[in-house]
Amino acid sequence: MEDRDQVQKILDESALCVVTMEPDDIQALGNILNNFDAVCKIVQETAPKAWLDLSAGLKGVAEKMALFEVDSPSRALDELGKGISLLQETQRAVEEDAGEIERLCAFLRECPYTDSTMECVEPWATGPEPAETEDQSPPLDLSQDRELIESFIQESMEHLSTIEIHVLELEKEPDNLQLVDAIFRPFHTIKGVSGFLNLREINKLAHQIETVLDDARSKKISVSPSLVDIVLDGVDLVTRLIDDVDDRLKTGRLEPEYLELGPFLERLHTVGEGVNAPLEDGEEENIPEGDGLDVGELLVKKGVVQAEDLEEALAKQASGESKGKKIGEILIEGKKAKARDVAQALRKQKADRQPAKAAGGNGAGFIKVDTLKLDNMVDMVGELVINEAVLKQRLAMAAGKDRDLAGDLAQLGRITSEIQRIAMSMRMIPMKNTFQKMIRLVRDLASKAGKKVNLEMMGEDTEIDRNVVDMIYDPLVHMVRNSADHGIEIPKDRLAAGKPEAGTIILNAYHKGGNMIIEVTDDGRGLDKEALTAKAMEKGLIQSAEGMSDQDIFGLIFHPGFSTAKKVTDVSGRGVGMDVVKGVLDKLRGKVEVMSRKGQGTSILLKLPLTLAVIDGIIVRAGEQSYVIPTISVLESIRPNREDCHTVVNKGEMIKIRGSLYPLIRLHELFDFPPNTRDPWDAIVVIAESEGKQKCILVDEILGKQEVVIKSLSAMLKNVVGLAGGAILANGRVGMILDVAGLFSLVESQAEYLTAS
């Protein structure tokens, strides 16, 4: 039995992996291959040949996917999931069963991605097997699984709500197999995740419902009223089980609520055989709860109950005599209505309300919109904002004399701002899904490295632009990997250092100063400045560490190929990863800061724009040209004194500010246009920062601060170093958005060239 439990655990883990992975996820496919090897090794002597053949066939599917040898990766992933589900189901059998053997062989023959030459004809091994005991959900391990279980509860409730809607649609369109598939997949997800979390009752129930739905998908049984009824009842039972898990999680109660599933599973089996199974009167407790008066009125209209019976039930509910009970439940207990009638009334109620929600009624409705349409709408709103600013500026003088015009312009401004705010919010999504993907990553890394690591997440509901989330996923993976593999020590080293045996990685997201901040913090060994500088000198990145700040030294980890790891693992150590972080941050116009103390831990802070479509900038004029400097890069602006302007040998022009020298950048020299002012003491210098470096940018005038909509440059200009894009300003003219990091690198490369020559 111990081997059986171990095999079941591995299969459950594989099923969860298939549910959550993408078809091209090589690491996940590698885990699945390892799991198949482990399972076959455990049951090599006891499992039937058919079962082992199917395992080998599915392993072959995973290998083909990893080598990109399948015509449709998504379909292959679907077949892989079906095969693992079949292994899960048949692995539970303890007696020789020719029917189960045939199911295994049939799948092996029909799957387009398995080796068709495999034979599977031998029966189950006949060795003694102990009788299977009824599954009992073990006490929840809150210290290890709380976050995963909370996520499972939330996502499962969303899935169940979606299922109910699709089932009601299926009742109207019983031949629509797409609806059957839309109901099947959420149950498949619930089954896989509940199995991984060892929530056996939920796993068992979801699996049985999924099996019947799969038969409906493959047209082995037809969609009938009985099937619709049984799926809705199944939703309610799964909901009750999940509610019980939620209550146990909140109260710490160890024993699960007992729920008799036998009658329901018998009905499910009957429906699975294609027979209409009427709802039993003894199953009233499993009927979905109604909404009160609406359900009662529907029952009265249908003639199921009398008006006085409804009034009596309402009186009981109002008096507290039937505390916490719904009208439908009160009517059933009083034998005034049957369970099926209440279920049908609730179904009718939901069907009546659904169109109102979809049309934007009192309920919160959702529709799917092509992201391209959404992006186009945001672009058009940007154009509207630009034209509103241009119109306001052109009519400013007339508005000063015409109060009505001034009021109309002000109202137009408020409406335009609100439209822009709503449009931008439509692109915003919470960080929760991205953060939760790190749970599995940390667990896998800790397991491989023999470490104990706790992952804590804060600010998951913080919202950021969808495009930014997509781009920040890979950098976040690399940072979490570094923390788990390089940062957190093995347990014995942590204990020797006086730390808890388990390390901690904290993911935190929050808004600050109009930006999105993401922090990845660990309490591991920290960065060794001496090791970093020694490695950098060995690679020729620096000549010495003299004069380098901590931020400069820590910034060395972002150089391509830079790594101080003494051992290369399958996770990290080749110096690949942190340069990806830096590259993505540059594309996003973001900044990265590293704080670390040797022996105490490291914190990496990413500062990101909330959206890629709009930038908050300082509008400046140099010559007759207008430029936008991202506000995030601007430290301050000053008019320097004549005596603070110097020329330093081999370093060029410098401005002395509060005792420190800052290099001067002249935009007219870089972009070749005639300047209005050449002397810094007659102009203004803007002190800008990038990657911990500060330089002065010479401008004639600061025109103001403005949110501008970013426009891509033409093919002729997109490769110009120092320019990040363009924007239409309030005066209707085009302003170039400066890429501060690019400006700095351009100036530094010119200085190196002049010094060398």
**Full set of structural domains in the chain with CATH:** 2-110 (1.20.120), 142-358 (1.20.120.160), 371-427 (1.10.287), 429-609 (3.30.565.10), 614-756 (2.30.30.40)
Query: Distance between CA 549 and CA 531 in Å, rounded?
Result: 15
pLDDT confidence band for 94 (50 / 70 / 90): very low
Which of 83-87, 200-204, 253-257, 496-500 reaches the highest mean pLDDT? 496-500
Which of 68-82, 285-299, 656-670 reaches the highest mean pLDDT? 656-670
More confident residue, 564 or 750: 750
**Looking at the predicted structure, is the pLDDT value of residue 271 above 50?**
yes
Q: DSSP 3-state helix, strand, coil percentages of the chain (rounded to 5)? A: 55, 15, 30
Q: How open is the CA angle 683-688-689, to the nearest 5 degrees? A: 165
pLDDT of residue 522: 92
CB-count exposure of residue 208 (10 Å: 0-12, 13-18, 19+) = buried
More confident residue, 586 or 409: 409
**Looking at the predicted structure, is the pLDDT value of residue 292 above 50?**
no
**Looking at the predicted structure, is the pLDDT value of residue 286 above 60?**
no
Which of 268-272, 374-378, 594-598 reaches the highest mean pLDDT? 594-598
State the DSSP string of 416-484. Answer: HHHHHHHHHHHTEEESHHHHHHHHHHHHHHHHHHT--EEEEEE-TT-EEEHHHHHHHHHHHHHHHHHII
**Looking at the predicted structure, is the pLDDT value of residue 506 above 90?**
yes
pLDDT of residue 346: 65
**Looking at the predicted structure, is the pLDDT value of residue 373 above 60?**
yes
Give the mean pLDDT of 249-268.
Answer: 79
Of 111-120, 150-159, 254-263, minimum mean pLDDT range: 111-120
Q: Any idea what DSSP says for residue 278? A: P
**Looking at the predicted structure, is the pLDDT value of residue 349 above 70?**
no
Query: Distance between CA 623 and CA 620 in Å, rounded?
Result: 10
pLDDT confidence band for 2 (50 / 70 / 90): low
The answer to whether the CB of 565 falls within 8 A of the CB of 486 is yes
pLDDT confidence band for 128 (50 / 70 / 90): very low
pLDDT of residue 340: 57
pLDDT confidence band for 272 (50 / 70 / 90): low
Mapped onto helix, strand or coil, the DSSP state of residue 634 is: strand
pLDDT of residue 699: 92
Question: What is the DSSP pairing of strand 503-512 with strand 453-458?
Answer: parallel
**Looking at the predicted structure, is the pLDDT value of residue 353 above 60?**
no
pLDDT of residue 513: 60
Of 65-79, 134-148, 155-169, 414-428, minimum mean pLDDT range: 134-148
Give the mean pLDDT of 589-598.
Answer: 84
Residue 477: closest CA among 505, 512, 511: 505
pLDDT confidence band for 226 (50 / 70 / 90): confident
CB-count exposure of residue 73 (10 Å: 0-12, 13-18, 19+) = middle
Percentage above 70 pLDDT, the chain: 78
Q: State the sign of the Cα–Cα–Cα–Cα dihedral 283, 285, 291, 296.
A: positive
Q: How far is CA 621 from the centre of its chain?
A: 42
Of 60-69, 177-186, 227-236, 733-742, minimum mean pLDDT range: 60-69
**Looking at the predicted structure, is the pLDDT value of residue 234 above 80?**
yes
Give the mean pLDDT of 168-191.
Answer: 80
pLDDT of residue 95: 42
Residue 521: closest CA among 476, 473, 576: 476
More confident residue, 38 or 349: 38
Cβ neighbours for 128, distance < 8 A, ≥ 6 positions apart: none
pLDDT of residue 613: 64
Residue 633: closest CA among 696, 726, 709: 696
More confident residue, 686 or 21: 686
Query: Distance between CA 473 and CA 382 in Å, rounded?
Result: 27
Average pLDDT, the chain: 76
More confident residue, 684 or 27: 684
Q: Any idea what DSSP says for residue 322? A: T
**Looking at the predicted structure, is the pLDDT value of residue 592 above 80?**
yes
More confident residue, 37 or 597: 597
**Looking at the predicted structure, is the pLDDT value of residue 144 above 60?**
no
Cβ neighbours for 220, distance < 8 A, ≥ 6 positions apart: 274
Q: How far, CA to CA in Å, does 429 sit from each of 419, 457, 467, 586, 708?
A: 18, 17, 10, 22, 22
